Amino acid sequence: MAISAASRLEAEPACPLGVCDGSGWILGPEDVARPCDCRAQRIGRARTKGVSSVIPARYRGVSFERPPVTQIDAMVVRIVRRWVEELDQNLAAGRGLWLMGDTGTGKTTLAMLVSRMALEAGHSVAIYSLPKLLARIRRTYDSEPGGDSYLSFFERLTSVDLLHIDDLGAEKRSDWVLEQLYALVNERYEAERSMLVTTNLDQQQLEEQIGPRTVSRLVEICGDPLPLFGPDKRIQAHRPGA
């Protein structure tokens, strides 16, 4: 049986924590209001409206405690795990992560694990492969009046707590692409917002692909790239006897 939107609203508590009356504020002594803890959750959800924050099915069950993560370079996994253990502090300070290396070495797996844990902690996250992100930006040019404009979408991309871009450098180089990437990375750099980036290119190759100005700001946000090199584990897993 279909449930109406009104019925769903009645069934759900106005405050997800069951503390305030749904306004996001708690009235204290002498009629002084203080914010309810649910306000941060509401603001986080509002920031992700219209951006992709869905963890693909393949990565929803990944964990630091089992394969494939336990099969990834242990030193890099330790660094990423330490970053996640200080997730709130790192996001508040605008510190990110940059995973660089060969195909099939676990970059996307680790990045999706970080994004999933950020979402579970109540933070706002936007997740895109770079080709899909550029295609999404292009679609805003064709939006109807009152629809999702370029400026509104760009604002959401720059205001979420964590922007996760997979396959940076996997796009055809053009002046338009360079302009979009620089604007996005520079805005998050100036606003001290975290980024999570994966790429198959080393730093020099990435500078040639997206420009040294953009890469310089990525280094400021994410620090030095974490290297993941070696054979493609996806291919190894499907070889006879593997």
Mean pLDDT of the chain: 83
Residue carrying the six token digits 């330490």? 82
Torsion angle, CA of 15/18/23/29, rounded to 10 degrees?
-170
Give 149-205 pLDDT, tens digit per residue.
888 889 989 999 999 999 998 888 899 999 999 999 999 999 999 999 999 999 999
Which residue, chain included where needed, has tokens 């603001």?
43
Spatial neighbors of 163 by CB under 8 A, at least 6 apart, are 125, 126, 157, 184, 188, 193, 194, 195, 196
Question: Using one digit for the tens of pLDDT, what is the confidence trace for 85-115?
Answer: 999 999 999 999 999 998 888 999 999 999 9
Report pLDDT for 92: 96
Q: In whole angstroms, give the CA distance from residue 33 to residue 27.
A: 4
Count how many residues are written for the chain: 242
Residue among 82, 100, 110, 111 at smallest CA distance from 227: 100
Inform me whether the pLDDT recorded for 27 exceeds 80.
no
Query: Of 129 and 11, which is predicted with more confidence?
Result: 129
Neighbouring C-beta atoms of residue 69, cutoff 10 Å: 17
Quote the CA–CA distance of 212 and 204 in Å, as a whole number: 9
CA atoms of 8 and 67, how far apart (whole Å) = 39
> Which of helix, strand or coil describes residue 149?
coil
Q: What band does 21 get if pLDDT is binned at 50, 70 and 90?
A: confident
Please tell me the least confidently modeled range out of 13-17, 86-90, 128-132, 161-165.
13-17
Question: What does the pLDDT average to over 6-24?
Answer: 57
In order of start, what are the domains of the chain with their CATH numbers?
53-237 (3.40.50.300)
Q: Quick check: 12 pLDDT over 60?
A: no
Predicted pLDDT at 152: 87
The confidence score (pLDDT) of residue 133 equals 92
Please tell me the least confidently modeled range out of 38-52, 134-148, 172-186.
38-52
E-strand ranges in the chain read: 25-27, 33-35, 97-101, 125-129, 162-166, 194-199, 226-228
- For the entire predicted model, the pTM comes to 0.77
Classify 27 in phi/psi space as left (phi over 0), alpha (psi -120 to 50) or beta: beta
- Segment 7-22 shows an average pLDDT of 57
State percent of the chain over pLDDT 70: 75
Query: Is the torsion defined by CA of 17, 118, 83, 70 positive or negative?
Result: positive
Query: Taking the mean position of all CA atoms in its chain, how far away is CA 101?
Result: 19
Q: Which amino acid is at 204?
A: Q
The per-residue pLDDT for range 219-241, each reduced to its tens digit, is 999 999 999 987 666 555 544 55
pLDDT reading at 68 higher than 80 = yes
